[in-house]
Amino acid sequence: MSLNVDKELAELKAKVESASGTGNKLTMIVFSGDLDRQLAAMIIATGAAAMGMQVVLFFTFWGTAALRDPKQRVNGKNLISKMFGFMLPKGRNALKLSQMHMAGMGTAMLKGLMKKKNVASLDQLYEVAAQLAVKIYICEMSMNLMGFKKEEMIQYPNLEVCGVATMLAHAKESALQFFI
Amino acid sequence: MAEYTVTKTLDYKGLACPMPVVKISQQIGTVSVGEVIEVHTTDPGSLADFPAWAKTMGHAIVETKQEPGVIKIFVKRMK
């Protein structure tokens, strides 16, 4: 008798766990282009993937600049797009701290400290994220606004461009939704 | 403490959050169910993070030893 109850409980548990809205998934919106916030985003993303979660990142607004590849040059931009391209960081290694940047001194000091204390850099975190199949989407509208083209974005497995509906569809079936 | 034999020892000394947990998640599949991995770490956060990771993933921490300069965590693959 008690065995049956255990079995039914296990079946019920499996049903609840597979129900929509409670999926073993994390959806994160990476809005900020600040180094500290981007670091937090990648640490949470890789940590969640290590915890067995499916992880989906949506880079939007200032966050999109972190996905630029500094080696890529794109032609055919208008003056405003060129200006945005010049003003915004060229990739994750050009990001600044949200506080204590101090004309580059603070950011350089933090990067030095991270190396000394063996904290993973953004480069290492992206590599791990790719290994753990963390999915990255870029907001099409943000790219369009800032004049970024897909060709100037980093090489990352299955990097895709999307709109708000894709993000919402993922968020709806995620157990966790973060905005950074 | 339960009896067990260590199948594999991994050196995560010097690594900081989130790398110890990321690495154990990549390594747990390399041993068979019921086998134990011994992890050496210097990250004090691992003391809380390994049990949290194990609980979520359905594995077990069979023992934790704090020795001078190193924390030893024994992780048993449960499924």
| Domain boundaries, given as residue ranges, for chain B | 6-76
Which pLDDT band, with edges at 50, 70 and 90, does A27 fall under? very high
Which pLDDT band, with edges at 50, 70 and 90, does A14 fall under? confident
Tell which wins on pLDDT, A6 or A131: A131
Which residues of B are annotated as catalytic?
17
Question: According to the model, what pLDDT value does residue A21 have?
Answer: 56
Average pLDDT over residues A32-42: 97
CA distances from A112 to A81, A115, A128 (A): 33, 5, 21
Number of neighbouring beta carbons within 10 Å of residue B4:
15
Cβ atoms A28, A54 nearer than 8 A: no
Closest CA–CA distance from residue B23 to any residue of chain A (Å): 8
ipTM of the complex: 0.80
Average pLDDT across chain A, whole number:
91
Q: Please report, as a single letter, which amino acid is at residue B15.
A: L
The count of structural domains within chain A is 1
Average pLDDT over residues A95-114: 95
* Residue A91 belongs to some domain of the structure: yes
Pairwise CA distance, residues B20 & B49, whole Å: 9
What domain range is A151 assigned to? 21-95+122-179
* Residue A13 belongs to some domain of the structure: no
pLDDT in tens, B22-59: 999 999 999 999 999 999 999 989 998 999 999 999 99
Q: Which residues of B touch A45 (CB under 8 A)?
A: none
* Residue A32 belongs to some domain of the structure: yes
Question: According to the model, what pLDDT value does residue A16 have?
Answer: 59
Tell which wins on pLDDT, A12 or A47: A47
Q: What is the CATH number of the domain that holds A73?
A: 3.40.1260.10
- Write down the CATH number for the domain with range B6-76: 3.30.110.40
* Residue A78 belongs to some domain of the structure: yes
CB contact under 8 A, A50 and B15: no
Q: Say yes or no to pLDDT of A24 above 90.
A: yes
Q: Say yes or no to pLDDT of A4 above 90.
A: no
Q: Which residues of A touch B15 (CB under 8 A)?
A: 118
Cβ atoms A130, A156 nearer than 8 A: yes
